[in-house]
A = this chain, B = another copy of it.
Amino acid sequence: MSQLLRHHIEMVTPLTDEEFNYILSHFKARKLKKHAYLIHEDEYVNYAYFVVKGCLKAFSSDSKSGKEFIYQFAIEGWWITDQEAFFRGSKSTINIDCIENCELLAITLSDQEKLGKDLWKYEHFMQVKANWGCIALRKRLQMMIMGSAKERYEQFILQYPHLLDRIPKTFIASYLGMSRETLSRLYSF
């Protein structure tokens, strides 16, 4: 199962067995049941998580309107945390909960920093990963600003076809920044 993590890092840079085992030794395994919270608003965020199995969503709820904004889904091979709170050591402004039973690998900020210092490859991996994240976010931002509800949904289907039958439509609507009713009307035609 930890092979998934190895495979993931090796998309950026190859590792020796020794290097990978050293990296892996800094992670703790964690299991959570469906509906359980991984990160809760107003609490400190001690870990970043790599998803080995399952599906989660990260969302923030606007206290005023009561609406939810889902800013990320994560399935096998993805990372998830409240990046800002994790890096700054501040309290989380978002929630993360499990859409399915989950198995995760967790790492603390200090272990991550230590890994980066000990192993240049790991620092490099983090750099590249963050840059890919920026690129993906930029595309999503553009789609959100430029595309109509229909275009956003069609793009989502193209990009994440495997999420369609794993995640309730309500959540997908929220991720795409539209009401569930609007999303529902899109595929009547």
Interface residues of A (CB under 8 A from B): 60, 62, 65, 67, 69, 71, 83-84, 87, 116-117, 120, 123-124, 126-127, 130-131, 133-135, 137-138, 140-142, 144-146, 177
Contact = CB atoms under 8 A, between A and B. Distances in A.
A130 B134 contact: yes
A177 B71 contact: no
A117 B121 CA distance: 10
B141 A83 contact: no
A138 B71 contact: yes
The 7 residue pairs across chains A and B that have the minimum distance between CB atoms: A130-B130, A145-B177, A127-B127, A137-B137, A84-B135, A133-B134, A130-B131
Q: What is the oligomeric copy number?
A: 2
B145 A87 contact: no
A65 B146 CA distance: 10
8 contacts: A67-B146, A71-B142, A83-B135, A83-B138, A127-B130, A130-B134, A137-B141, A145-B177
B141 A71 contact: yes
B146 A87 contact: no
Nearest to A175: B145
